[in-house]
Amino acid sequence: MKNSKKFEVGKSAKSYKIKGLKKGKRYYVSVRPMKTHGGVTYKGILSKVKRVRVK
């Protein structure tokens, strides 16, 4: 995705609130699990893109 931003969330988090979004604008969100073990970062499969409109 063009101009994408990255957010880190703790492993026990069920949701995450992104701040600074503009009202009425449409955003696209996807999720990728990541784990670091022994200095190596493992990346999971990227989720499907979800289209969200801010109320």
Over the stretch 8-46, which tens digit does the pLDDT of each residue have? 888 888 888 888 999 999 999 998 888 899 999 999 999
Of the candidates 43, 44, 13, 16, which has an alpha carbon nearest to the alpha carbon of residue 29?
16
Q: pTM for this one?
A: 0.67
CB 32 within 8 A of CB 7: no
Domain positions in the chain are 23-55
What is the rounded distance in angstroms from the CA atom of residue 20 to the CA atom of residue 1? Answer: 19
Name the amino acid, one letter, at 36.
T
